[in-house]
Amino acid sequence: MEVKKYEEIHFVDSTRAVWNYSFFSEDDIRNFQQGTHYRLYDLFGSHEIEVLGKRGYYFAVWAPNATAVSVIGNFNDWNPTTHPLFVRLDKSGIWEGFIPGMSRGEVYKYHIDGFKGVKTDKGDPYANFWEKRPNTASITWDLGYNWKDDDWMSNRGKHNSLEAPCSIYEVHLASWMRPNKHDEESYNSYDQLRQLMVPYVQEMGFTHVEFMPIMEHPFDGSWGYQGTGYFAPTSRFGDPQSFMELINAFHEAGIGVILDWVPSHFPYDAHGLFMFDGANTYEYADMRKGFHPDWNSYVFNYKRGEVKSFLISSARFWFDKFHIDGIRVDAVSSMLKLNYSRTHGQWEPNEYGGDGNIEAINFIKDLNETIYRDFHDIQTIAEEATDWPGVSRPTVNNGLGFGMKWMMGWMHDTLDYFKMDPIYRRHYQNKFSFSMMYYYDENFLLPLSHDEVVHGKSPMIFKMPGDEWQKFANLRTLYTYMFTHPGGKLLFMGSEFGDTNEWNYKSELQWDLLKFDSHQLMKDCVRDLNLLLRNEPAMYENQFNIYGFEWVDLNHPAECVVAYRRKGKDPANDLLIILNLTPVVRHDWKVYTYGKSEWREIFNSDDKRYWGTGNVFNPEIFTRSLDKNDNMYEINVHLPPLGAIVLK
C-alpha cells in the first residue's frame, strides 16, 4: 500500500516561514516511546524534501520539556523568533516543521525555551554533519552515495564469521599519520587516509580495521569517547561521503570496518545532549545513576523508551547507511553495574536488591537482537572487563547477545608474564596458561589496545625486559603467542613495528623508526603472523570451541618451554606451537605428541628476516615412533632463544 504524503492528507499553510509538516505516523510515535523504533534517523534531524513544489528541509527534534523550539542559523541571523517549529499535539514532545528554500550545507541549531524558562541553543542530536570544532552547529546534509562494494557486502558473512580469521588493526584516525606531526591541528582527510591507510593495512594482512570513535565529538582529548553527534562522522577529516568512500575502499581491498560506539555516557558540553531542554531528557535525573564519576560525564537513561530508541537507532544507522561490519561497544561494564566506580551510599540497589542495572541489561539485549536480526553477517563486540556471565552468549540462553568479548584477563596476565625478567618466569607458568581455564566461557577477542600504551603505561617494546635484542625477541614471541592462541586478535596501531613512544593523540606514530632494521623487521614479523593466521585453517576454524586447542607440554616450567596444538576441522591441518620463554638455546628438545609422523617448520620468530639471530631453526625435523597403537611420536626440535616456532 502506497503511503500518502502529508500534504496529500493535510492542509499545509505555506504562508508562514515554517510550514506545518510531519514524517511521523501513530505507529512511529508509539514505537519511539516504547523504545522499539530503530530507524529514527529517517524521521528526526534535517531532511531535504519537496513540498508543494518547493524544495527545503524538514526538521524534527524531541524536546519534551520545551515550551517553544525554533531553528536558528546564518540563514536567519540566529534569530530565535523567525522560524518556530510546531509541537505535535499527541504529547510526544516532538517539534517539527518544513523550512522552504533551505539548502544543503546550512549551519543550524535548535533554540529551545526549556524547563522553568531555561533557554538553550542545541546542536541536532540526529544531524549527519557538524561544523568542525571548536564550532558547534549542525549542518544540513544528505547521505547520498554510490556504493561500489557489492562483492564485499554479498560475501562478508564468511569474512565476519566466528569461524573466519579475525585480526583487527585498531586505529585513531587523527594520530595514525599527520601532514605535520608537530601540529595537532594538522589532519589527513578521509580521502588522504584512503590513499595511505588502505594499502598499508592490506599489506600488513589484517582482516579488519577498528576506528576509535569517529562520531562527532567536541574534545580531542576524549579520543572520541565523549560524543555529541551519534549520527555523524566527525568533520575533522571531511564530509560523510568521504568517510563512506574510505569504508568502500577498505571493502574493495577485502578488509572489514569496525567502529567503536559509546552508548554508556556523554559530555556536558552546552551544545550536546546534557540538559537538552532544560531538564534531564537523555540522562538519568538521579545522579547516583546519571553522573559518571570516572569521566565527569552523564549516563543515558536506559529506562526511557525514547532514549533507548535513540541509541539503538544510532547503532543501526552505521550498519544501514555506512556499511560497517561491526561495532565495539565501549565501557559495557559501567553500563551493567549500578555500583561501577561508586562506593557505599553513592548507588542504590535495583528492585531485587542487586547491583545490576536492569534497564541497561535489557537495552543491551535488545540492541544485539536488533542488529543481528537486521544484519546477520556482522559482529558486535563488548569491551567488558568483569566476570559478568554470558556476555557473548545468545539472549535466548540468557546471555547479553554479543558476538565477542574482549579478553581482559588474558591481556593482564600475558603482559605481567612478559614484563618479568625471564629468570623469574619459571615460577609463574600459571599466569601464562591460566587463560585456557576460562577461555570457553565466552567468544574471546585478545586485545593489545590503545589502553595499554597510553601515558604512564609504556609502549609495547619497553614493557619487555632485557637489552634491545631481547626486547624485540620477547615482543616477537608475545605476538606469536597471541596470534596462535585461540580467539580474535586486536593490535593497536604502532605496536606492529615497536613504536618507542607511548601513544600521544596530539602527534603521530613514529614512522621514521622504520628506517631501522629492528623496527622494519618487527613489522614484517607481524605481517607474516597475519598471513599465517589467514592461511592456516587450524588457527581459526575452531577458535571458539573446545576442539581447536590442546596443551601438549606444560611439564617444563623450570625451562619455560611450553607447547600446544591448534586444531582445525581436518587433522592434516593441525599446527604445533612451541615457545621458549628464556634466552637459553634448547638443542634437541623433545616434544611428545600423537597423530603425525612428519612435521616441518613454517614459522620461526628468531628468523633473520625478523631481526632474530637466525642461528636456531629446523630445516629437517626428526620424529620417532613411540607407540604405534596410540600413534605417539617423539619430535626432536631446536628451540631459539626467547623464540617461538610453528610446525605443520
Judged on CB neighbours under 10 Å (0-12, 13-18, 19+), 217 is: buried
Query: Which is nearest to 399 in space by CA: 429, 364, 371, 426?
Result: 364
User: Residue 49: exposed, middle, or buried by beta-carbon count in 10 A (0-12, 13-18, 19+)?
Assistant: middle
3-state secondary structure of 629: coil
Burial of 520 by CB count in 10 Å (0-12 exposed, 13-18 middle, 19+ buried)? middle
Locus of grid cell 524534527: 60
Let me know the angle formed at the C-alpha of 102 by 191 and 11, rounded to the nearest 5 degrees: 135
Q: Catalytic amino acids? A: 330, 383
Cell numbers 607447547 correspond to: 563
Q: Which residue reads 580495521 in cell numbers?
A: 209
In angstroms, the Cα distances linking 354 to 349, 391, 397 are 5, 18, 21
Cα–Cα distance for residue pair 254/149, rounded to 1 Å: 10
Could you tell me which of 647, 641, 563 has the C-alpha nearest to residue 606?
641
Q: Is 513 helix (H, G, I), strand (E, B) or coil?
A: helix
Distance (Å, rounded) from C-alpha 641 to C-alpha 570? Answer: 32
Distance CA 356, CA 346 (A): 14
Helix axes 468-484, 517-535, angle to 10 degrees: 10
CA distance 602 to 622: 15
Q: Residue 389, preceding bond cis, omega within 30 degrees?
A: no
Q: N- to C-terminal Cα distance for the chain? A: 61
